[in-house]
Amino acid sequence: EAGVAQSPRYKIIEKRQSVAFWCNPISGHATLYWYQQILGQGPKLLIQFQNNGVVDDSQLPKDRFSAERLKGVDSTLKIQPAKLEDSAVYLCASSPRTDGETQYFGPGTRLLVL
Amino acid sequence: GENVEQHPSTLSVQEGDSAVIKCTYSDSASNYFPWYKQELGKRPQLIIDIRSNVGEKKDQRIAVTLNKTAKHFSLHITETQPEDSAVYFCAARPQGAQKLVFGQGTRLTINP
């Protein structure tokens, strides 16, 4: 079974620039999560999709972050404009369940904002 | 909302000894508690989980215990090996929620 795929793996941008991350979940997984993992901390949920609908985006900074999951498969997370404090690893996870259990993580995208 | 505290932040043990990592949670109605292992530069992987109707669960050298009264749960690794070196994260799922709240992580180092 192929795992969760993410790209790019690394990204360096200057503050105020825009950036986008892509996630391809495990085939057939209805639920997709985006997490932000700041160095030395645990993953923090940004947004959760079930199929192509948003279940939870309560911790997504909506003034600069946006995400979509068209057709209920791939997803993109965008930051516009980026701030220094957005430097982190952005993890995508998917699950065949809808209750938060059995999450499979991708390798993450490491973002550095200068 | 739910808050998960994890201790210690770093742990160093001799190979063959046991390691214990503890997490406390704030929402007494939380009902699912997984543990993830993240090796350096790799993705987090689920290693064991426990639900609120169970007090203990074992899988070979790892076990998790849950104390609902005290609102804490612990990861126990016995007969530690060098490949156990990683960052371990606990998490809790608040009741009625479909998401996980993670602890801050514990960096475990196994010394040969």
pLDDT of residue B73: 97
Secondary-structure breakdown of chain A: helix, strand, coil percentages, each rounded to the nearest 5 = 5, 50, 45
pLDDT bucket at A1, cuts 50 / 70 / 90: low
Please check whether residue A55 touches B, CB under 8 A: yes
Residues of B in contact with A48 (CB under 8 A): 98-99
Q: How many residue pairs from chains A and B have C-beta atoms closer than 8 A?
A: 60
Residues with pLDDT less than 50, chain B: none
Residue A109's nearest CA partner among A2, A16, A1, A6 is A6
The set of residues, in sequence order, having a beta carbon less than 8 Å from that of B32 and lying 6+ positions away, is A99, A100, A101, B49, B50, B51, B52, B92, B93, B100
A28-82: pLDDT as tens digits: 999 999 999 999 899 999 999 998 899 999 999 999 999 999 888 999 999 999 9
Could you check whether the bond before residue A81 is cis, i.e. omega within 30 degrees of 0?
A: yes
A104: exposed, middle or buried (C-beta count within 10 Å: 0-12, 13-18, 19+)? buried
pLDDT of residue B41: 86
Per the prediction, chain A carries an average pLDDT of 95
Residues of A in contact with B32 (CB under 8 A): 99-101
Strand pairing category for A88-95 and A31-37: antiparallel
The set of residues, in sequence order, having a beta carbon less than 8 Å from that of B55 and lying 6+ positions away, is B65, B66, B67
pLDDT of residue B76: 98
pLDDT of residue B95: 86
Residue type, B102: F
A93: exposed, middle or buried (C-beta count within 10 Å: 0-12, 13-18, 19+)? buried
Cα A99 to Cα B3: distance, rounded to the nearest angstrom: 18
Cβ separation A45–B97 shorter than 8 A: no
The set of residues, in sequence order, having a beta carbon less than 8 Å from that of A1 and lying 6+ positions away, is A26
